[in-house]
Amino acid sequence: MPLDPALRCSTVPLSNGLQIPVLGLGTSHAGGYSHDAIVYALTECGVRHIDTAKRYGCEEKLGQAVKESGIPRSELWLTNKLWPEEYGYTAAKKACLDSCSRMGVEYFDLYLMHWPDSLRPGCSNREVRAETWRALEELYKEGVCRSIGVSNFLIPHLEQLQEDCSVVPHVNQVEYHPFQQPNKLIDYCRHKGIVFEGYSPLAKGQVLSNPTVLQIAGKYKRTPAQICIRWSIQNGVVTIPKSTKKTRIQENCQAFGFQLEEADMLALGELHDGRHVSWDPTNVE
């Protein structure tokens, strides 16, 4: 199957006018990084959006892969995340600059607070989040971060942040797949001009054997993974599947060039059962 040129030009606008590619490649810790796969995705599949985090421990390797690809920095969208251990005004600014240094870049296209809990016993999560966000606002104004956002934040966390700070997050990155559809959160984000980005679009593989997904995949002569990624993109969600396998990356990038019918979109929408395959921030104050 030929690579679809639509991958490179399919973007979602942020509130500050930037365009984030609607499909990206995620990385993770515990074996979630492959140098060869990153280079392949960039050079052979047309991927221009890479998502990582300091916590994943692959910043230096990723920076080397990006350099090896030969893709100009201006054509790439690089997202990084700040782990709670480095929350706080001074620590956050230093952590971001250190991450830039490790990756060999002068700026990030998107920089996220990774988790709403400060992980500091006896501290107010709200106060720590606000202090940290003010650091990200300064990094944004300085151009070190072209956009800033949060990850795993729910409506109460977002409401508090907007009361305490001045820049509304450009992005909220949250678990999203047919089994986990936080539609109230999505509606809230869109009402506030916050782009909703979904990770784990394949529910860590759990959705690939679902009978409804398999039936729809057969109808379109596509793979279950392509159906789920297409469903996510068609719902307007920026989507970042992870893989370290070249064949899987190529497969995931073929989520364009076809359109799911409304009945199939609805059928997939009915698969929500509330399960999480990653962290659940529900009880974080």
**Residues flagged as binding site for substrate:** 114
188 a catalytic residue: no
Q: Which residue in 56, 87, 176, 199 is the catalytic one?
A: 56
Q: Which of 115, 56, 112 is nearest to 81 (CA)?
A: 112
Q: What are phi and psi of 176, to 5 degrees?
A: -155, 120
Q: What is the 8-class DSSP label of residue 107?
A: -
Neighbours of 154 (CB within 10 A): 18
Contact 277, 203 (CB under 8 A): yes
Q: By CB neighbour count within 10 A (0-12 exposed, 13-18 middle, 19+ buried), where does 144 fall?
A: buried
Q: At 208, is the secondary structure helix, strand, or coil?
A: helix
Beta-carbon contacts of residue 233 (< 8 Å; ≥ 6 apart) = 10, 22, 23, 239, 255, 256
- Which residues are documented as binding site? 114
The whole-angstrom separation of Cα 213 and Cα 175 is 18
The whole-angstrom separation of Cα 56 and Cα 53 is 5
Query: Active-site residue numbers?
Result: 56
